[in-house]
Amino acid sequence: MSRICLVVDFKVQPGTKARFLEIIREHAAQTLANEEGCLRFEVCDPIEGGDRVFLYEMYADEAALEVHKASPILARTRERYADLMESRDIHVCKVL
């Protein structure tokens, strides 16, 4: 089975990036600590990214990704940042 990588591109509402980063960094730490199949979870703040934030997540396989998608941690986090977000693009990739 292939490892699965997510690259997530968030655009947040102007003036909300610091709060969004606080929420998403906590989410990354909780995911790594509580989901055995999560191998890596990086929060990336582009140097010239304005109101953008990128996530780089790696999961052991598709089953681990499904566990993450069903996680109450993810559901709570999405509720917490919903009013801060302008857009979100998720790219699911196989790691070669």
Query: Residue 49 — very low, low, confident or very high, per pLDDT cuts 50/70/90?
Result: confident
Sorted by where each begins, the domain ranges of the chain are 4-94
Q: Which residues of 8-26 are buried (b: 16+ CB within 10 A; e: fewer)?
A: bbbbbeeebbeebbebbee
Report the alpha-carbon distance of residue 59 to residue 31 in Å, rounded: 11
Looking at domain 4-94, which CATH architecture does it have? Answer: 2-Layer Sandwich (3.30)
Query: Residue 30 — very low, low, confident or very high, per pLDDT cuts 50/70/90?
Result: very high
Report the alpha-carbon distance of residue 50 to residue 9 in Å, rounded: 12
pLDDT in tens, 59-90: 999 999 999 999 999 999 999 999 999 999 99
